[in-house]
A and B are shown apart, each in its own frame.
Chain A
Amino acid sequence: AQSVTQLGSHVSVSEGALVLLRCNYSSSVPPYLFWYVQYPNQGLQLLLKYTTGATLVKGINGFEAEFKKSETSFHLTKPSAHMSDAAEYFCAVRGSNTGKLIFGQGTTLQVKP
């Protein structure tokens, strides 16, 4: 069984500040981990993914995430927030032989001027 927990349903940062969105997972098989972003009234866009190999993965728009097996975490970071980063962010997990994504509850990122 797999599950995802995103700590903090709402995160507010100032423009230019560090963004940190937390994600912890539970998986009985080696996990494949993903971060998706959803802008208002739009679809889900893949930010980045971890499958195998390097545990620090870089994605689009300056985001990156690090897979830490010992902590069962896959936190999303960005050094400097931009107003356009305001959106809903979903962490998701799946196994290697299935496309069924299990999503976390989502974190709304607010960026203040």
Chain B
Amino acid sequence: EAGVAQSPRYKIIEKRQSVAFWCNPISGHATLYWYQQILGQGPKLLIQFQNNGVVDDSQLPKDRFSAERLKGVDSTLKIQPAKLEDSAVYLCASSLGVMNTEAFFGQGTRLTVV
């Protein structure tokens, strides 16, 4: 079974530039998550999709971050414009359900904003 695919693995951009991350979840997984993980901290949920609908985006900085899930499968997360404090690892995860099912994570995209 193929895992969660993310690209790119690494990205370095200057502040005020824009960047996009792509995620392909495990086939058949209805729930997709984007997390931000700052070094030394636990993951912070940015947005959760159920199929192509948004379930939770309460911690997404909507003035600069946006996300969509195309046709309930692939997803993209965009930052525009980036700030220095956005430097982090962005993790995509998917799961079959929501409440009692575990999530499967991609390897993440390490973003450095200089």
A and B associate: no
